């Protein structure tokens, strides 16, 4: 057998193994896997050539976490969030963060109702399923802080009254890395509430050409997509992840990586335990997306940089030298022994 034939045979066996494993999954997990694949396929018709990023977003949505995009303008961050919301059948709202934005502008406000002779609550744009907080670092700290409770507890407290947000609730925030004038860096407490920090990046020439060709073919700016899910279905997808198995050795692997971020001499503040929990949630979602009901070490390797890089605060000297958190996490990955377990196959 030639090398090419052997490679093709190995690929076919791997694909067959993945398919057979999908059929071995719990019925609810199979439904989650199939729905997630369908959603990705629909979104991929709009956001071209970015399958790896779309998979990460899908994993974050399934894990029920908030996502931070740090990227240049015009790279389809708003389009991506809006398209996901439409395909998921969820209510989507966008808030443009500006220096004069007040907390009440996003949380809501009490107004006097003459009919009832009492104050009534008027909900703000936070009351949706998927919120796009555009250029979140342009709002003053007080307004940024108004998001903290919503992002973590999925509720808003005003005038002593607690208002529950719709379920599911996910914040997708963006910030521009090339403009620092008139911005307010996000506090560590808020950064820690994002399950992942992602970037989209520029498309290649063939993809950029395909974008223009598709625009010309549909003869309008808007994209037509199908709603394949609903808020209730998304909640069921998130709940189904509780059935995914995580081996004790893989848990130890996650804990060791996170703890080493605190011990690295270049790091002033390492990842919090929330980072470990983020890895745990994300790896379960990635396992189901890949057609498994158990987590493997490669799931951790793929997600660890996205889950931890925004949680590290470097000391002044390495920061001045241009050291990036990604470099430190990559080095830790190389140093930590990978568990030999293959999950629960």
| Chain-centroid distance, C-alpha 36 | 14
Strands 118-123 and 130-134: unpaired
Q: What CATH number is attached to the domain comprising 43?
A: 3.40.50.300
Residue 204 covered by a domain: yes
Residue 232 covered by a domain: yes
| Chain-centroid distance, C-alpha 190 | 15
- pLDDT-derived band at 112 (thresholds 50, 70, 90) equals confident
For the chain, how many structural domains are there in total?
A: 2
Considering the domain architecture, whether residues 278 and 163 belong to the same structural domain is answered as no
- pLDDT-derived band at 8 (thresholds 50, 70, 90) equals very low
Find the radius of gyration of the CA atoms of the chain. Answer: 22
Question: Cα separation of 49 and 13, whole Å?
Answer: 27
Q: Tell me what the mean pLDDT of segment 148-165 comes to.
A: 89
Residue 265 covered by a domain: yes
Q: What pTM did the predictor assign? A: 0.89
Residue 39 covered by a domain: yes
- Single out the residue in 243, 266, 285 at which a domain terminates: 243
User: Which phi and psi (to 5°) does residue 135 adopt?
Assistant: 50, 60
Residue 269, beta-bridge partner list:
313
Considering the domain architecture, whether residues 170 and 239 belong to the same structural domain is answered as yes
Considering the domain architecture, whether residues 258 and 181 belong to the same structural domain is answered as no
What are the b/e assignments for 129-164, b being 16+ CB within 10 Å?
A: bbbbbbbbbbbeeebbebbebbbeebebebeeeebe
322 φψ region: left (φ > 0), alpha (ψ -120 to 50), beta (else): left
pLDDT above 70 as % of the chain:
90
Model pLDDT for residues 167-205, shown as the tens digit of each residue: 999 999 999 887 767 688 888 888 999 999 999 999 999
Q: Which domain holds residue 300?
A: 244-345
- pLDDT-derived band at 64 (thresholds 50, 70, 90) equals very high
Residues 44/55, Cβ–Cβ less than 8 Å: no
Model pLDDT for residues 261-306, shown as the tens digit of each residue: 999 999 999 999 999 999 999 999 999 999 999 999 999 999 999 9
- Single out the residue in 243, 271, 299 at which a domain terminates: 243
Task: Give the per-residue pLDDT at 6.
Answer: 45
Residue 15 has pLDDT above 70, yes or no: no
Q: Tell me what the mean pLDDT of segment 242-256 comes to.
A: 96
């Amino acid at each position: 057998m030639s090398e090419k034939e052997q490679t093709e045979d190995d690929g076919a066996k791997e694909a067959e193994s993945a398919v057979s494993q999908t059929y071995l999954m719990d019925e609810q997990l199979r439904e989650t896997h199939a729905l997630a694949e369908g959603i990705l396929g629909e979104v991929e018709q709009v956001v071209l050539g970015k399958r790896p990023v779309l998979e990460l977003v899908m994993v974050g949505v399934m894990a029920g976490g908030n996502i931070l995009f740090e990227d240049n303008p015009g790279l389809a961050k708003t389009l991506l969030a809006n398209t996901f919301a439409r395909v998921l059948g969820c209510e989507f709202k966008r808030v443009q963060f500006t220096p004069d934005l007040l907390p009440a502008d996003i949380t809501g406000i009490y107004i006097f109702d003459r009919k009832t002779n009492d104050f009534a609550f008027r909900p703000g744009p936070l009351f949706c399923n998927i919120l796009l907080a555009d250029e979140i670092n342009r709002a003053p700290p007080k307004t940024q802080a108004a998001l903290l409770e919503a992002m973590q507890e999925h509720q808003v407290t005003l005038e002593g009254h607690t208002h529950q947000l719709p379920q599911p609730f996910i914040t997708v925030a963006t910030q521009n890395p090339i403009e620092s004038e008139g911005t307010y860096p996000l506090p560590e407490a808020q950064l820690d509430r994002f399950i992942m920090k992602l970037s989209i990046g520029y498309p290649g020439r063939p993809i950029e050409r395909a974008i223009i060709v598709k625009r010309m073919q549909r003869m309008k700016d808007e994209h037509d997509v199908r709603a394949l899910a609903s808020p209730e279905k998304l909640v069921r997808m998130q709940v189904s992840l509780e059935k995914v198995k995580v081996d004790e050795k893989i848990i130890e692997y996650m804990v060791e990586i996170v703890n080493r971020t605190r011990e690295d001499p270049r790091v002033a503040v390492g990842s919090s335990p929330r980072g470990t929990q983020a890895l745990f949630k994300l790896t379960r979602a990635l396992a189901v997306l890949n057609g498994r009901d158990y987590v493997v070490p490669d799931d951790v390797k793929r997600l660890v940089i996205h889950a931890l890089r925004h949680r590290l605060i470097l000391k002044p000297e390495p920061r001045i030298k241009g050291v990036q958190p990604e470099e430190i996490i990559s080095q830790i990955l190389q140093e930590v022994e990978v568990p030999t377990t293959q999950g629960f196959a």
